[in-house]
Each structure stands twice: as C-alpha cells, then as structure tokens.
Amino acid sequence: MGEKFGRLMNYGDGMYAGQFIGAMYAAAFFETDRIRLIETALQAIPAQSQYAEMVRDMVSWYKADPTDWEKAWQLTQKKYRENPEYQKASNGGIDCKINGAYVLLGFLYGEGDPMRTMVISCRGGQDSDCNPSSSAGVLFTMMGYSKIPEEFKSALNRTNVFSHTAYDFPSLVNVCEKLARKNVAAQGGKVKKTSSGEVFVIPAKAAKPGKLDLSWAPDPIANSRYTRAEMKKITKTNIPEHMTADVQAFAKGWKVTDCGQDMQPGLRAEWGGKKKVLVTHPADANTPCVLWKTFVFKQGSQPRLRLVVGNDPKGDFQLVVRANGKELLSKSVDKATAAGGWLVEEVDLSAFAGQRTKIELLNQPTGWAFEAAYWAEIGVAQ
C-alpha cells in the first residue's frame, strides 16, 4: 500500500519515508524493543536509499551514546542538513530525511517515556508538529491503549468531527477496524473467535522493498494514462459539489470545470444590484474556471453571445470567449471596463452557423487576488 499510494504524492526518499513510518506502525503491534522495531521497519525500504542510511545512522549514534540526544542532533545537522549530497532535490532544504531523523531522535532517546519522546522530537525542529506525533504514535502503538498514561487520553474529544472529514473519534476507530479486518482476510489471514474475544491471525511475510528510485535521477516518465474504461470510473471533479446544480439553475445546459473553492462560488440571490448572479473562481493561479455549452447553429443563422459579467471591487480577471477552441474575445474585467460594476459584451458567432460549436467562457486569473467572476447574464440567440 505504501508503494501504491506513496507514489501518488511522493517519489524517492519521500516515498520511503512513508513506507518506513508505516512499517514502524505495523511492527509496533508485535514488538516491544525499539531497536528491533526500527530494524524490522527498515526492511521495507531499499537499503541503498539515503533514507535507509539515515535510519542506520540514528541507531548507530544512539548505540554509541544513548544519553546525549543533543550530540546526535548535531551529527544529524552536520550530515543531513549541511552536506549538499544529502540535500539534493529537496524542497528548499526541508527534506524528509531530516524530519525522519527527528522522529527517530525522540523515539530512541525518549527511552519509552511518552512526554520525553515528544519533547525531544519537537525540539529537533523542522516539522515539529508531525514529528513528535509520529514518534509518540508509534510508541503508543507499542504500549497499547490501556497502558497509555491517562494524561494523554483524558482530554480526548470523542464527539467533535475532524476537520475536512465525516469522522468523529469513535467512527474513525470503527472504520479503521473494518479496514483492518478486510486487509487481514485479503492477506490470507482470518479472525478467530475465542472465549475471551477475537484473535486476528495474520500471516507473517517477509518485506519486499521496491527498486531504488532516486529523486535527483528519476526514471523516464511512463506512459501512465488512464484507459477509457478507467476514465468512466472517475466520478469526482475538482469543483464544489453544489456548482453543477447552481450553473444549471442559472443557465440551463451550461456546464462548469475547474472551479476553485475560494470566494464562495455558487448562485447568489442578489449581487451588485442584480438578482440571480452566478459566482465562479479559478481553480488556481494558472487554471481558469470554464463555463461551457455545445450548440448546433442552423445553417444561414446569425448567432450571437451576450454576456453581462462583473468583477470583485478588490480585484479583476480576464474574460476569454472561445468557440471550438478559437479565441473570439479576451478582455480584462476591472474597474475601468466594468462601468457600474458590470461589463456588457456581445460576441458575433455567425462564422459558426451550420456547425456544432462548443462555446467556452473563461474566468481567467490575472494574478491571485479576488479573481472571482460574477455572471448576471449568459445568453445565446440565433
């Protein structure tokens, strides 16, 4: 799973970091010796990787002097921060190896004490919220819930829903248990009922690390495109869930793509003195939000597009109109062009008479400040 999902977000040592921490958690259910746990998890990543080298260094420095974590920190700083050979292709110097080292710094020198473990990982620096969370999380897994000191459990809120999820603490535990049961079965294990409860019978398997991939010397890009069958399975889009219905309510038959979440996009009852106004926002600083619809214009007709669109008083955007990919209009919507807050534009589409024509209206960002478009009218007559 670390190989499959890790590659969606990371590569090289970034992927090995996730696999290693995941392997530590997996081993923590069965291991009480911290060194053996680390050595077990190390088998899950390529031994030649710099991340694996860092893990071996941390264990070696701890064994050489298990009392002075600050000395180990200095050795870590000198090799994994100051030596450019261990900062290649890192994101501005914030490298997963240095953060992984601080996880192990607390895990090893904390000597099994939860507070000391977290303090040392935190004092290491860098990503000092995640690092102590990882070192203590693995330690707590080794200990088991019943043995975790009450001071670390007493304030646990069991009713609040975690941000950006549908889960509170009990439901999160439940879904994790369900996934664990499914995974045990998928790996050839089983759940046995006993007089004292249930036992998970988990097959012991040797770790199989993937081949070494270096972030500074990556493999050629693979031909990794989705097939048509796979594309049909993709149902989620990068637009707010309500936007499809709001666009339909505003302009029947029109669709939207690449609408960002900023500035509360959607249908407004009133804005800028006009009723029923649709708000869109670019997906990011380089990706416009697009409203589009396909028309079949009659032969000999003279179709025209009429737009009434406004900008936020604190910002502007570029209005672009395309027909079958051809740009017909590109105009800034700002204080100067939108008199009274609104720009009225008519675009001649007669060149597309007798054709099936895709009309696209782009809310194109000009920077990244108040880039919303406020659509009061979108009409096509022929």
Residues 6+ apart with CB under 8 A from 126: 94, 98, 99, 102
pLDDT digits (tens, 9 = 90+) for 219-272: 777 777 888 898 888 877 778 889 999 999 999 999 999 999 999 999 999 999
287 by Cβ neighbours in 10 Å (0-12 / 13-18 / 19+) ranks as middle
Check pLDDT > 70 for residue 55. Answer: yes
Predicted confidence at residue 87, as pLDDT, reads 85
Predicted confidence at residue 6, as pLDDT, reads 84
Closest CA to 23 of 206, 148, 173: 206
311 by Cβ neighbours in 10 Å (0-12 / 13-18 / 19+) ranks as buried
Give just the sign of the alpha carbon dihedral 215, 219, 220, 226.
negative
334 by Cβ neighbours in 10 Å (0-12 / 13-18 / 19+) ranks as middle
Average pLDDT, the chain: 92
Check pLDDT > 70 for residue 92. Answer: no
Closest CA to 262 of 277, 243, 282: 282
Domains of the chain: residue spans and CATH: 2-153 (no CATH), 243-381 (2.60.120.260)
Reported as a pLDDT band with limits 50, 70 and 90, residue 93 is: low
Predicted confidence at residue 133, as pLDDT, reads 95
Q: What is the C-alpha R_g of the chain? A: 28
What is the average pLDDT across 76-87?
89
Predicted confidence at residue 172, as pLDDT, reads 94
- CA atoms of 378 and 373, how far apart (whole Å): 12
pLDDT digits (tens, 9 = 90+) for 164-182: 888 999 999 999 999 999 9
Q: In the structure encoding, which two tokens stand for residue 189, read together?
A: 């294990």
Strand order in the sheet with 356-364: 255-257, 289-296, 356-364, 317-323, 326-333
Give just the sign of the alpha carbon dihedral 215, 221, 222, 224.
positive
In contact, 279 and 297? CB cutoff 8 Å: no
Predicted confidence at residue 239, as pLDDT, reads 85
- CA atoms of 369 and 189, how far apart (whole Å): 54
Long-range contacts of 145-149 (CB under 8 A, 24+ apart): 148/114, 149/114
In contact, 168 and 158? CB cutoff 8 Å: yes
Reported as a pLDDT band with limits 50, 70 and 90, residue 19 is: very high
Q: Give Cα separations from 191 to 31, 172, 186, 197, 198 (angstroms).
A: 21, 20, 12, 10, 7
Predicted confidence at residue 127, as pLDDT, reads 83
Q: Report the predicted TM-score, pTM, of the whole model to 2 decimal places.
A: 0.61
pLDDT digits (tens, 9 = 90+) for 318-327: 999 999 999 9
What is the average pLDDT across 43-72?
96
Predicted confidence at residue 91, as pLDDT, reads 60
Closest CA to 114 of 82, 154, 92, 147: 147
Q: Give Cα separations from 362 to 286, 322, 346, 365, 377 (angstroms).
A: 12, 8, 15, 9, 14
Predicted confidence at residue 237, as pLDDT, reads 74
Q: Of the segments 119-128, 216-225, 368-377, which one has the largest average pLDDT value?
A: 368-377
Predicted confidence at residue 82, as pLDDT, reads 86
Reported as a pLDDT band with limits 50, 70 and 90, residue 47 is: very high
Q: Give the least confident one: 35-49, 55-69, 93-107, 135-149.
A: 93-107
First to last CA, the chain: 55
